[in-house]
Amino acid sequence: MLSDRFGVDKEASYLAGLSHDMCRELSFEEQEGLVDRHGACIAFLRERPSMKALFSDTVYKKKMMHGPAAACMLCHEFGMREPDILEAVTLHSIADEKMSDLAKIVYISDKLEPLRNRPHDADEKLHTLDLDSLFVYTIACVVRWFSETSEPLSPFTADLYSRMLK
């Protein structure tokens, strides 16, 4: 488990991993409604560049709103107030440079899970790279996947990738 390897709280990792997609099947309107009604739960993240990008981009907002919605539901319905868990759930689909180790682990785990189409060297990288290098590797995998599928990549993710390579 990445949380063991990188010294991150196992229970927090488990909870964030379990809940990060819990609003994925809701309609965009339902997701947006959760965030509108209970966004105070994640207000501490609003000034982050990734969140500003998410809320200002109508195309990608529809694909990524399930993370903030899940964090709001986790907070409002289940009383979760732990900032690292709320951050990890909120940002699991759009990374940013200031993510906590827990948030990086959830992002990496989501993007490199075994059921996804991932590079042949992903298992090796998961076991050998330090957390920051693994985070950059994962963002590179996301960029590569979008390039190979001709799907449009979020401009924020493209910029983030460029900044991370410096």
Task: Give pLDDT, residue 152.
Answer: 87
Cα–Cα distance for residue pair 57/159, rounded to 1 Å: 14
Please give the pLDDT value at position 57. 83
Question: What is the share, in percent, of the chain residues with pLDDT greater than 90?
Answer: 77
Distance between CA 134 and CA 106 in Å, rounded?
12
3-state secondary structure the chain: CHHHHHCCCHHHHHHHHHHCCCCCCCCHHHHHHHHHHHHHHHHHHCCCHHHHHHHHCHHHHHHHCHHHHHHHHHHHHHCCCCHHHHHHHHCCCCCCCCCCHHHHHHHHHHHCCCCCCCCCCHHHHHHHCCHHHHHHHHHHHHHHHHHHHCCCCCHHHHHHHHHHHC
Residue-wise pLDDT for 14-41, tens only, equals 999 999 999 999 999 999 999 999 999 9
Tokens 């900044």 found at:
163
pLDDT of residue 23: 98
Of 111, 105, 101, 122, the closest CA to residue 157 belongs to 111
Supply 136's token pair: 């950059």
Q: What is the pLDDT of residue 30?
A: 98
Split the chain (166 residues) into runs of 10 and give each run's mean pLDDT: 96 98 98 98 94 87 95 98 98 93 98 90 96 96 92 89 87
Domains of the chain listed by start with CATH number: 2-165 (1.10.3210.10)
pLDDT at 59: 83
